[in-house]
Amino acid sequence: MTTPEADTLHVRSAARRRSRWRAQAPVVAVVAAGGALGACARYGLALALPTPPGGFPWATFWTNLIGCGVMGVFMVFITEVWAAHRLVRPFFGTGVLGGFTTFSTYTVDIRRLVDTGRPGTGLVYLVATPCAALAAVWLASTVARKVLIGRQQP
């Protein structure tokens, strides 16, 4: 037999769990929808730039650079220019750009290059991708800040 206080605590904790889920459900939904869009865009780019066996994986390289550059612009825009709705960042930043960029494929590409006897190309790709991606974020956010915020100041 339980005490009345224990029953009340159980009901309150179940209600709290449901309200947390209701608050997070829209976030999960927009991340999933954005991820599907981003993954489709990445697939389209991979079809447009096929990688021959043992060749440099340009599609993955450009996908990651473009995604990182767009992320730089996006973050400046929603944090310093526009007060975005609470679901914009999860939809576009986590969903679309998370589905578009593909650092897991980057590691598979490195392994393929090494396995096909191109360890030098794999090493260049290993170093070039994160360096170029970080440079893309920095450059895009710097330019976006100057263009978007510079226009707002009198």
Q: Would you list the DSSP string of 4-41?
A: HHHHHHHHHHHHHHHHHHHHHHHHHHHHHHHHHHHHHH
pLDDT tens-digit readout, 56-74: 999 999 999 999 999 999 9
Q: Is the dihedral of CA 77, 78, 81, 85 positive or negative?
A: positive
37 pLDDT higher than 90: yes
The CA dihedral of 115, 130, 28, 79, to the nearest 10 degrees, is: -170
The whole-angstrom separation of Cα 74 and Cα 64 is: 15
Q: Enter the tokens of residue 134.
A: 């970080």
pLDDT tens-digit readout, 70-125: 999 999 999 888 888 999 999 999 999 999 998 889 999 999 999 999 999 999 99
Average pLDDT over the chain, rounded to an integer:
88
pLDDT tens-digit readout, 115-127: 999 999 999 999 9
Q: Taking Cα atoms as reference points, which of 67, 36, 54 lies closest to residue 129?
A: 67
Q: Are 129 and 83 in contact (CB under 8 A)?
A: no
49 pLDDT higher than 80: yes
pLDDT of 9 reads 54
Axis crossing angle, helix 103-115 with helix 58-76, rounded to the nearest 10: 160
